Amino acid sequence: MRWKDWDRNLKIRLISEGIMNLLFWTFFPFMTIYFADSFGKEMSGVLLIVSQIISVFVGLTGGYCADRFGRKRMMFWSAAAQLVCFLLFAYANSPWLDSALLTFISFSLLGLCEAMYWPASHAMVADVVPEKHRSSVFAVFYTAINITVVVGPIIGGVFFFHYRFPLLIVCAVVSAVLAVVIKLWIAETAPQRKEMAPKTPEKQKWYRYLAAQLQDYRVIVNDKTFLVFVIAGILVAQTFMQLDLLMAVYSTENVREQTVFAFGNWDWTVDGTKAFSWLVAENGFLVSIFTVAMSKWMSRYKERNVFVSSSLLYGLAILLFGLTVNIWGLIGIMAMFTAAELMTVGIQESFVSKLAPEHMRGQYFAASSLRFTIGRSIAPISIPMTVWFGYSWTFALLCLLAVCSAVLYYFMFNSLESKKTAAQQKTAVLR
């Protein structure tokens, strides 16, 4: 789908949301470092877990609100609420106040605003783009996000630690502009609501809708193969979710200032904070460049081998990460870590669609997202684990979880193949 054929809503959103995402990535990767310094590792881990759990439940109501109140309205009010959160965030880090508690509250509220914004945003794409072009449009938005992941942490490595208040004021101003743009130039795309009977989904109360969403996840218990798939996904998520958690704290505390490049009397040095910002940027850059190529390459191999290899590579990368403080070594390990991520990007959704009965695909895709939502909720426990067990044992335990994930994937696919073979033999006998 060519740019000139895009709906005006999408063009405006791509630019405005791109700028917002860029600013988001100037502070988001460093928040774990900030909380660990402010509250201690144990308390920061607990706070981040609570924040993620709340976001999971709020996110479940996001789709309901987008359908019930309209895409534009939800996006506008989320952006407006985001403005207030950024002002609160800035005030907590201003010349007049320095409050870690208020910073955590405002940061958590920002997460809730995001959880309400993105379901409406994604639904708007589905509203205005024909089905055959949706994947390409989503790909453009995904690429734009990863470009901001490259640039944002590099900028944030300087501004977040030295000019935090001005940075957050700029974020607030951009949020205000985004809200105005949505209000004035974005058109509503939700299908027109019709009068419906009181018991239809359109008239459901939000808490009943939430209960129905939670009930839909019973599909996980009923399908043993899918259950194993989700559990294996949650286990391996404990490694790749550490990019802005354990890896951030480890880099900051253990990577000392070192020379990266020297030429004559000039040299380029980085400390732990800058090293981490470059690692996050490297991850985003590699994802932006190699996602399509890696997906095509992996499609040549059996899904079992790809999932198992990805988990093992994640395990090896997370283990090696805790064994070095050399910046070039960490850059090489991050490339390995990103390769593990890209191996399964192109085949995860197709595997779920093949596993799901046609009439239950929506439930299966909703349930499959638990790999990330539950994984994200558990992952912050790695921060207090460094206090309880030390960095070496924490990285080793995360490696072990990735290996367990690989074992589960191996037996899951073998069981699936055995069932298919048995079904084929039964069909042949009946013929």
- Summarised one tens digit per residue, pLDDT across range 161-184 is 889 999 999 999 999 999 999 999
pLDDT at 336: 95
pLDDT score for 194: 47
**What is the reported pLDDT for 399?**
96
Rounded to whole angstroms, the Cα distance separating 361 from 340 reads 26
pLDDT of 365: 64
CA distances from 43 to 32, 97, 107, 384 (A): 11, 22, 16, 7
Find out whether 351 and 282 touch, Cβ atoms under 8 Å: no
Measured CA to CA, the distance from residue 209 to residue 196 in angstroms comes to: 16
pLDDT of residue 363: 60
Query: Which segments of the chain have a pLDDT < 50?
Result: 194-202
Predicted local distance difference test score (pLDDT) of residue 409: 94
Q: For position 360, what pLDDT does the model report?
A: 60
| Closest-CA residue to 253 (of 40, 33, 47, 100) | 33
The pTM of this model reads: 0.77
Question: For helices 100-128 and 131-162, what crossing angle results, to 10°?
Answer: 160
Rounded Cα distance between 372 and 238, Å, is 9
Residue 199 DSSP symbol: T
State the distance between the two ends of the chain, measured CA to CA, in whole angstroms.
47
